[in-house]
């Protein structure tokens, strides 16, 4: 960001702080609340799925005791088992999602609010001190170097880079956690449907 | 079923009728009720999933407007789209399940109760008539053939075969509908995860 004025740098740094505090963390907070509802809805679905496929298995068991439909009884019981296995695996994914994504996000929000708030206060104080020091030097005529290389500008640039890294770290955390969710779904689909020699294949 | 007595045949036929009326059709009725709850639970999950991944997409959109995390914004939006597509496809499967499985089962139950009830009454009446006719012939000494080849035994055997076929047809219907459900899930998984070049692959 060479050629950018100290004011622009300072404003850009502050806007990242504001974004993290006013948008990112509240957004994460909202995700946690929505995610908890999502998990509850999945648990309710799991109960209904279990009731339904347990009734299908019962029909399959009835068929096993007929003269006409024993092999169809086997098919019904196998379908029921596949669906129950799928539900059980999905429960595993949602448990992982609850612990590794939602609880991790919730923990991060609390720690982050304090951290970002403190870091911003330190930054603003340091900027004020450095600006005053530079101004004094300029007034006394004791400053000889170019403003571009001043300690003040170096601090602004470094702080700007650091807060961008912090911001990127937070979005990366969010993206990685949710990639993990999709990967878990893929993994279980492979496990349940592709590698179990399901009767429909 | 050669060598089986007329009584055994008759009892076996009646027990299939009873099984269909007292177990199969009430079982189907229970499946319809449980299936409707299952669909409602899935719809509730769909609403929660949409809310969650719409919030993830919003976070992705925020990231697109940062200096640090534009590509992560893309990733978040893509994950959100994959999940929304999965939910939309699942909604399709559940719609199919509702129309092709639950509604078809419900329609069948009503028609079947009348059909089986009527068919059983016709069978019992005919068995009585034929048994009486055979008894008369035996009393008068006008029956010369073996009992095994009597019209009465032929009717019992034929009726037994027919009711076994009816029973098999019903379990086959149930098994085929539910195989269709598993196949639809497999098909959508292929469509959403395997052939879309998902970012996690």
> Residue B6 pLDDT more than 50?
yes
Please give the pLDDT value at position A141.
Answer: 84
Q: B171 to each of A153, B118, B178, how far by Cα in Å?
A: 80, 20, 11
> Residue A53 pLDDT more than 90?
yes
Mean pLDDT of chain A: 90
Chain B partners of A102 at a C-beta cutoff of 8 Å?
A: none
Q: Do B62 and A19 touch (CB under 8 A)?
A: yes
pLDDT band at A199 (very low <50, low <70, confident <90, very high): very low
pLDDT band at B201 (very low <50, low <70, confident <90, very high): very low
> Residue B200 pLDDT more than 50?
no
> Residue A1 pLDDT more than 60?
no
Q: A83 to each of A46, A76, B14, B27, B31, how far by Cα in Å?
A: 10, 11, 34, 19, 15
**Beta carbons of B58 and B77 less than 8 angstroms apart:** no
Please give the pLDDT value at position A109.
Answer: 92
**Beta carbons of A13 and A160 less than 8 angstroms apart:** yes
The lowest-confidence range among A4-8, A42-46, A76-80, B42-46 is A4-8
> Residue A197 pLDDT more than 70?
no
Please give the pLDDT value at position B194.
Answer: 61
Q: Do A165 and B49 touch (CB under 8 A)?
A: no
The lowest-confidence range among A4-13, A59-68, B42-51 is A4-13
Please give the pLDDT value at position A196.
Answer: 53
**Beta carbons of A51 and B34 less than 8 angstroms apart:** yes
Mean pLDDT of chain B: 90
Instruction: Tell me the pLDDT tens digit for each residue of A132-186.
Output: 999 998 889 887 778 888 899 999 999 999 999 999 999 999 999 999 888 887 7
Structure tokens that stand for B140 in this block: 């008068």
Interface test with B, best of A8, A21, A27, A48 (most B CBs within 10 A): A48
Query: Do you know the residue count of chain A?
Result: 201
**Beta carbons of A102 and A36 less than 8 angstroms apart:** yes
Which of these, B60, B196, B65, lies nearest to A178 by C-alpha position? B60
pLDDT band at A2 (very low <50, low <70, confident <90, very high): low
ipTM of the complex: 0.89
Interface test with A, best of B20, B31, B52, B193 (most A CBs within 10 A): B52
Interface test with B, best of A11, A23, A56, A68 (most B CBs within 10 A): A68
Instruction: Tell me the pLDDT tens digit for each residue of B149-198.
Output: 889 999 999 999 999 999 999 999 999 999 988 888 777 777 766 655 44
> Residue A22 pLDDT more than 60?
yes
Q: Indicate the residue of B30, B75, B200 with minimum beta-carbon distance to A186.
A: B200
Q: Any idea what DSSP says for residue B56?
A: H
Chain A partners of B174 at a C-beta cutoff of 8 Å?
A: 56, 59, 72, 76
Chain A partners of B175 at a C-beta cutoff of 8 Å?
A: 72, 75-76, 79
Distance from CA of A188 to the nearest CA of B (A): 11
Q: Do A67 and B12 touch (CB under 8 A)?
A: yes
Please give the pLDDT value at position B195.
Answer: 57
Report phi then psi at B188, rounded to 5.
-70, -35
CA distance A93 to A81: 18
> Residue A70 pLDDT more than 80?
yes
CA distance A50 to A53: 5
Distance from CA of A131 to the nearest CA of B (A): 25
Instruction: Tell me the pLDDT tens digit for each residue of B110-122.
Output: 899 999 999 999 9
CA-nearest residue of chain B to A185? B193
- Domains along chain A with CATH numbers: 6-194 (1.20.1270.60)
- Three-state SS string over A111-173 comes to HHHHHHHHHHHHHHHHHHHHHHHHHHHHHHCCCCCCHHHCHHHHHHHHHHHHHHHHHHHHHHH
**Sign of torsion over alpha carbons B16, B20, B23, B27:** positive
Please give the pLDDT value at position A18.
Answer: 96
Average pLDDT score over residue span B38-52: 97
Q: Do A34 and B51 touch (CB under 8 A)?
A: yes
């Amino acid at each position: 960001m060479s050629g950018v004025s100290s004011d622009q740098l300072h404003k850009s740094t502050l806007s990242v702080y504001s974004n993290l505090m006013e948008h990112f963390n509240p957004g994460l907070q909202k995700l946690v609340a929505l995610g908890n509802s999502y998990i509850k809805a999945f648990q309710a679905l799991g109960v209904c799925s279990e009731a339904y496929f347990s009734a299908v298995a019962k029909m399959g068991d009835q068929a096993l005791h007929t003269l006409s439909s024993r092999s169809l009884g086997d098919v019904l019981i196998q379908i029921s088992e596949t669906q129950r296995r799928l539900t059980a695996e999905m429960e595993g994914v949602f448990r992982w999602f609850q612990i590794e994504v939602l609880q991790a996000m919730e923990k991060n929000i609390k720690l982050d609010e304090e951290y970002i708030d403190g870091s911003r206060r330190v930054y603003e104080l340091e900027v004020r001190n450095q600006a005053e020091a530079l101004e004094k030097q300029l007034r006394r005529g004791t400053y000889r170097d170019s403003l571009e290389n001043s300690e003040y500008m170096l601090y602004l640039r470094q702080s700007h880079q650091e807060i961008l890294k912090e911001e990127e770290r937070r979005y990366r955390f969010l993206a990685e956690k949710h990639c993990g969710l999709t990967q878990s779904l893929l993994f279980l689909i492979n496990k349940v449907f592709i590698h179990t020699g399901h009767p429909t294949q």
